[in-house]
Amino acid sequence: MVDVVDGPDDSQRIQIDVTLYAPAETPAPTILLAHGFGGSKADTATQAQELVQRGFTVLTYSSRGFGRSTGQIALNDPDYEVKDAQQLLDWLARQPEVSRDGDGDPKVGVTGASYGGALSLMLAGADHRVDAIAPVMTYNDLGQALLPNNAARQARATPTPAGGSFNDKGVFKQAWAGLLFAAGSAPRPHDEPDTGSSSPNGPTGPQGQPLTCGNFTDQVCAAYSEVAQTGRAGQATLDLLARVSPKSVTAGIKVPTLLVQGERDTLFGLDQSDANARQITAAGGEVKTIWFAGGHDGAEPGPVQRQQIADWFAFHLGGVGPAPEQPNDFQFDIAGRPQRNGEIPVRTITADSYPGVQDAERVPRFSLPLHGQATEIVNPPGGNPAATSSLPGASQALDAAGSLGQSVARDLPGQTAVFRTDPLDSQLLISGTPRTRLSVASVKGQPATGSAVLFAKLYDVDPDQKRTLIGNAVSPLHVTDLPPDGTPVEVDVALPGVVHPLETGHRLELVVSTTDQAYARPKEPAVHRVGLAGGAEVTIPSVRGTATSANAVPTEPLVGIGVLAGLVLAAWVISRIRRKSSDDLDPMLSDTPLVIAGLTKSYPDKPTAVQDLSIRVERGQIVGLLGPNGAGKTTTLRMLLGLLHPSSGQVRIFGHRLVPGAPVLSRVGALVETPGFLPHLSGVDNLRYYWAATGRPMLQARFDEVLQIAGLDSAAQRRVRTYSQGMKQRLAIAQAMLGLPELLVLDEPTNGLDPPQIHQMREILRRYAATGRSVLVSSHLLAEVEQTCTHVVVMHNGRLVTTGSVADIVSVDGEATFRVDEPQQAAAALRTIEGLGQVEVDGDLVHADLAGHKAAIAVNVLVDAGVSVHQVGPRRRLEDAFLQLVGEEKR
Domain boundaries, the chain: 2-145+247-351, 168-246, 365-541, 582-806, 814-875
What's the confidence (pLDDT) of residue 884?
59
2-145+247-351 and 582-806 agree in CATH topology: yes
When the candidates are 3.40.50.300, 3.40.50.150, 3.30.70.260, 3.10.105.10, the CATH number that belongs to 582-806 is: 3.40.50.300
Q: Quote the percentage of the chain above a pLDDT of 90.
A: 38
Q: Is the pLDDT of residue 394 over 80?
A: no
Asked if residue 292 has pLDDT above 90, the reply is yes
Of the given ranges (413-427, 457-471, 765-779, 866-880), which has the lowest mean pLDDT?
A: 866-880
**pLDDT tens-digit series, residues 658-714:** 887 788 888 898 888 767 888 888 999 999 888 887 777 777 888 888 888 777 888
Give 891's pLDDT tier (boundaries 50, 70, 90): very low
Distance CA 757, CA 141 (A): 62
pLDDT one-digit tens code per residue, 44-67: 999 999 999 999 999 999 999 999
pTM, to two decimals:
0.63
More confident residue, 343 or 214: 214
* Alpha-carbon span 572 to 542, nearest angstrom: 29
Nearest-angstrom CA–CA distance, 770 and 282: 61
Mean pLDDT calculated for residue range 830-847: 84
Is the CATH number 3.40.50.12780 carried by domain 814-875? Answer: no
- Rounded alpha-carbon distances, angstroms, from residue 138 to 134, 242, 475, 754, 844: 10, 15, 18, 56, 83
pLDDT at 787: 78
State the Cα–Cα distance between residues 174 and 521, nearest whole angstrom. Answer: 10
Amino acid 550: pLDDT: 61
| Angle ∠(177,178,180) on CA atoms, nearest 5 | 65
Best CATH choice for the domain 2-145+247-351 from the list 3.50.50.100, 3.40.50.300, 3.40.50.1820, 3.40.190.80: 3.40.50.1820
Range list of H helices, 136-264 = 142-146, 174-184, 218-230, 235-243
* pLDDT on residue 341: 52
CB atoms within 10 A of CB 203: 20
Q: Which CATH class is domain 365-541?
A: mainly beta
pLDDT of residue 641: 87
pLDDT band at 175 (very low <50, low <70, confident <90, very high): confident
- Which helix (H) or strand (E) segment is 312 a member of? helix 303-317
- Highest mean pLDDT, choosing among 121-125, 404-408, 492-496, 521-525: 121-125
Q: What pLDDT sits at residue 578? A: 34
- Checking if the pLDDT of 617 tops 80, the result is yes
CA distance 122 to 244: 8
Q: What is the mean pLDDT of residues 721-725?
A: 87
Q: Is the pLDDT of residue 558 over 70?
A: no
**Higher pLDDT pick, 648 / 810:** 648
Contact 270, 278 (CB under 8 A): no
Higher-pLDDT residue of 118, 559: 118
pLDDT exceeds 90 at position 837: no
Packing angle, helices 725-737 and 755-770, rounded to 10: 10
CB 594 within 8 A of CB 642: no
